[in-house]
Amino acid sequence: MFSFGRKTLLAVVAVLMFFGLTINAEAKEIRVGYLVADQLHFPAIMVMKERNMLEKEGYTVKWSEFLAGSYVMQEMASGSLDFVSCGAVPISISHAQGVKINILASGNQEGSALVVGRDVNSIKDLEGKKIGTPGTGSIQDAMVAQLLKDNNVNARRMSMKVSDMPLFLDKGEISAFVAWQPHCARAVANNFGKILYTSHDMMPGHQCCVLAALQSTVKKDPELVKTFMKVYLEAYKWYLENPDESCKMVMKATGMTEDVVRTAMKGVLYPPVPYVNDKSIAYMVEGLIATKKITTIKKEQIADFVNDLYNPSFLEALTTTK
C-alpha cells in the first residue's frame, strides 16, 4: 500500500482539478462565425458577443469574423464552426453542394435598397445604365432584376463588392446600386445618391441573413443547439427592447456615425420572433437554379430542398406556449 502525506494528496487533487477544468473548458467551447461589419443583419449574434451571454452559460466561445459568406461556408464545411450567421444565399448553395446544413432562425428580413445617382428620378431613367449588385443569385440582384422587368427597363447589372458601391456611384462609374444596409444609408449621408426603392417596396418580408448549423451538430448535440437558441432568442429580444444601446453597439462594430446607423436600422425588418420566411428562401433558390449557381436540384424539387434546409423545431419549442 502507498502512503501519501497531506501535502502530497492536496497537490494530486490540485493537478486533477486543473486538468479536469481544462478538459471541461475545452469540451464546452462553441465556435461561431459571422460577417465582419454587418451587425445590422445579425443583431442577436452581436449582442451575444458584446454581453458575454454564452460565457455566462458556462461556455468558452471562439468568435471568427469573415469578409464573405462563401468563406464562412468553407470553414463550416471543414467542421471548424458550430454556428454561423450569414446570408441565406451561400448557405443554400453549400447545402445543394452536399454540406448538409440546418437554418435555425432569422437574422433579419429586408434591409436592402436601390440607391440611385443624384440625376436619376425614376426607374425609367436607368434605361441603358449600369447598376451595381452583389452578384447573380443574390436576393438583391433578383429583386432589382424583377423591378427592371416589371418596368420594361433594360439596364446592365454588374457584380461588385458592396463596400465599393457608394464610391463607384459617386464617381459616376455606375448609375445605381442595390445593396444591404448600412451601405445604402452611408451613400445617402455622404450625398452620393438617394434611395429610390427599399427592399420592402420590391419584395416585402424577404429573407436576408440567417442563423445556421451543420445537420450533424443538430443531430449529435441537440442540447447544445437548444442552449444556443435560448441565448440567441434572449439576445434578439434585448436588441429589440434596447434600441439606443443597440445603436451604440452597431456604431462600435461598424465605425459608422449615429445618424447613419439609426437610418439604416429603420430599413431592416426584425419580426418579434425570428422565424424564417421560407417562401422567400424558395424564391431565392429558384433564382440560384436559373443562374446555375445551384445545379444539383430541379425546380420541382425546391419545396423538398427548403424543407430539408430549414429546421424551425428549436425555435418552435422555445417560443410556443403550452
- Give CA–CA dist 227/57, Å, rounded: 8
Would you kindly state where each structural domain of the chain is located, as residue ranges? 9-110+208-319, 112-202
Please provide residue 311's backbone torsions phi and psi, each rounded to the nearest 5 degrees: -125, 95
**9-110+208-319 in CATH: which number?**
3.40.190.10
- Residue 226: the pLDDT is 96
- Residue 2: the pLDDT is 43
pLDDT higher than threshold 60 for residue 322: no
Residue 6's pLDDT band (cuts 50, 70, 90): low
- Give CA–CA dist 120/133, Å, rounded: 17
Burial of 140 (0-12, 13-18, 19+ CB in 10 A): buried
Burial of 27 (0-12, 13-18, 19+ CB in 10 A): exposed
Per DSSP, 155 falls in state -
Decide the pairing of beta strands 176-180 and 109-110. unpaired
pLDDT higher than threshold 90 for residue 321: no
Residue 108's pLDDT band (cuts 50, 70, 90): very high
The greatest distance separating any two alpha carbons of the chain, rounded to the nearest whole angstrom, comes to 94
List, for residues 76-101, the tens digit of each pLDDT value. Answer: 999 999 999 988 988 999 999 999 99
Contact status, residue 77 vs residue 94, Cβ threshold 8 Å: yes
Please report, rounded to a whole number, the percentage of residues in the chain having pLDDT higher than 90.
69
- Give CA–CA dist 219/318, Å, rounded: 18
- Residue 1: the pLDDT is 45
At the topology level of CATH, where does 112-202 sit?
D-Maltodextrin-Binding Protein; domain 2 (3.40.190)
Q: DSSP letters of 18-69?
A: HHHHHHHHHHTEEEEEEETT-GGG-HHHHHHHHTTTTGGGT-EEEEEEESSH
Kindly report the average pLDDT of the chain as a whole number.
88
